[in-house]
Amino acid sequence: MRALVIVLLLLASGALAQPATVNGIVRDASGFPLPGANVYLSGTARGAASDADGKYSIEDVPPGAYRIVASMLGYQAAVREIRLAGGARIYVTLELEPSAVEMGTARVEAERDRRWERRLAQFARVLLGESANADSTRILNPEVLSFRSSWGTLTATAAAPLLIENRALGYRLRYDLHEFEASSGRVRYHGDEVFEPLAPGDSAEARRWAAARKRAYLGSQAHLFRALLEGTAEDEGFTLLHVFDGDGLDRRAEGATFRTSSDDLLQEASYGWGTLRFRGRVDVAYGGEPEDEAYLTSEWFRERRRVPDPVQRSTLHLNESSVRLDPQGTPEDPFAISTSGYMAYERLADRVPEEYRPEE
């Protein structure tokens, strides 16, 4: 009997890990199919183009929570949130509305206005980051961008998806910008991106990209959350300190600091999912690699020192009472958690696809 139970459990866990498939159709507001639309799972390297009948299929998708996006020139991007169980096959209809942003205005401004160039530089610094990887990353079609500046706040819109080439990590990204607002000390932006690996010029470049991708992943938020789910955070170089804020507790506990682990922070872990729950903040130290020297001169660095720390330090705050993590370690609601410190310094130029796993 015990052997039978073990076999059944193994079969069940194997089924849960089976890849899923997403099929569907892209159409306009009148119900007509749209061929040639780009459909992808945000943050991944998985996507497809709709065929002559507007149909698409994305296969071999790991179980988890995703934002599925359809975009096409002349239309606003359509986004749906989906949750995939192992082995699931689901059908998603994506309806595109005409875009209100015109391309012509952006082009004229790009050609004639020097202020536009300064605003583009600020936009790229915020979106791509200021790391060494950002130095080798560029926006290929900046002419689709329009900017406005009022009372020290820069806002940006895009008439088409941004095409971004990252020669440091070997990816080309398609980025659908939904919102961008930046002022001194405050940034709010969000969008959806899909990754396309670039073809290396030779074996040496392939090795450089593999090493750079691994460095970008190690110590990242994705690395931390995946390690928390697997219960290996300390083994993988993370030290976690829980700092209480005293809210709802004895005020004498405010500022109290305790060493913590996934056992304390992660609850209800089942079927590969977990719930991250804590009050106050969690200070994260990653000892696997030192800070990037560029971090010390970045716009967001607030300390007074000139030597990189051998440890990367970040802080996590929950904006809700808890946040669900899918089996890939991706927050189901990305706005439910915020980061500061080193994890906030690393931006789009330092990201790898959600499904990325470093080779041993």
Give the integer Cα–Cα distance in Å for 220 and 229. 14
Residue that wins the pLDDT comparison between 11 and 306: 306
Instruction: Judge whether residue 105 has pLDDT over 70.
Output: no
Give the integer Cα–Cα distance in Å for 182 and 174. 21
236, 305: one domain: yes
Answer whether residue 32 is part of any domain: yes
Instruction: Judge whether residue 10 has pLDDT over 70.
Output: no
Residue 339 sits at φ, ψ, to 5 deg, of -125, 155
pLDDT value of position 247: 58
Q: Looking at residues 24-43, what average pLDDT do you find?
A: 97
Question: At which residue do the structure tokens 């989906």 appear?
Answer: 82
In the DSSP assignment, the letter for residue 11 is H
Task: Give the closest residue to 82 by CA, choosing from 321, 317, 330.
Answer: 330
pLDDT value of position 297: 83
pLDDT mean across residues, the chain: 88
133, 213: one domain: no
CB atoms within 10 A of CB 237: 19
Answer whether residue 356 is part of any domain: no
Instruction: Judge whether residue 112 has pLDDT over 90.
Output: no
Q: Looking at residues 152-181, what average pLDDT do you find?
A: 96
pLDDT value of position 115: 85
Instruction: Judge whether residue 223 has pLDDT over 50.
Output: yes
Please give the biggest Cα pair distance in the chain. Answer: 78
Question: pLDDT grade, residue 245 (50/70/90)?
Answer: confident
pLDDT value of position 233: 95
Tell me the β-bridge partners of 313: 285
Instruction: Judge whether residue 360 has pLDDT over 70.
Output: no
Q: How many domains does the chain have?
A: 3
Out of 58, 77, 96, pick the residue that ends a domain: 96
294, 185: one domain: no
Q: What percent of the chain has pLDDT above 70?
A: 88
Contact 8, 316 (CB under 8 A): no
CB atoms within 10 A of CB 112: 9
Out of 61, 96, 131, pick the residue that ends a domain: 96
165, 216: one domain: no
Least confident of 91-100, 178-187, 346-355: 178-187
From residue 131, give the alpha-carbon distance in Å to each of 50, 231, 238, 260, 342.
36, 30, 21, 30, 11
Answer whether residue 174 is part of any domain: yes
Least confident of 248-262, 265-279, 290-304: 248-262
124, 189: one domain: yes
Segment (H or E) for 148: strand 145-150
pLDDT value of position 61: 96
β-pairing, 186-197 vs 337-341, is: unpaired
Out of 150, 166, 197, pick the residue that ends a domain: 197
Q: Looking at residues 211-236, what average pLDDT do you find?
A: 96
Q: Looking at residues 223-241, what average pLDDT do you find?
A: 95
320, 214: one domain: yes
Question: pLDDT grade, residue 7 (50/70/90)?
Answer: very low
CB neighbour list of residue 121: distance below 8 Å, 6 or more residues apart: none
Question: pLDDT grade, residue 267 (50/70/90)?
Answer: confident
Answer whether residue 357 is part of any domain: no
pLDDT value of position 165: 99
β-pairing, 323-325 vs 186-197, is: unpaired
318, 243: one domain: yes
Give the integer Cα–Cα distance in Å for 10 and 39. 34
pLDDT tens, position by position, 131-141: 999 999 999 99
Question: pLDDT grade, residue 218 (50/70/90)?
Answer: very high
Answer whether residue 360 is part of any domain: no
pLDDT value of position 2: 47
Tell me the β-bridge partners of 156: 147
Least confident of 15-29, 74-88, 94-108: 94-108
290, 242: one domain: yes
Domain at 55, CATH number: 2.60.40.1120
Answer whether residue 173 is part of any domain: yes
228, 308: one domain: yes
Instruction: Judge whether residue 26 has pLDDT over 70.
Output: yes
64, 143: one domain: no
Answer whether residue 338 is part of any domain: yes
| Token pair for 104 | 């012509």
Answer whether residue 241 is part of any domain: yes
CB neighbour list of residue 188: distance below 8 Å, 6 or more residues apart: 179, 180, 181, 182
255, 343: one domain: yes
Give the integer Cα–Cα distance in Å for 80 and 18. 22
Q: Which range marks the domain in which residue 255 is found?
A: 207-350
Question: Residue 199 half-sphere exposure, CB side, CA atoms within 13 Å?
Answer: 1
pTM as predicted: 0.87
Give the integer Cα–Cα distance in Å for 360 and 347. 25
230, 315: one domain: yes
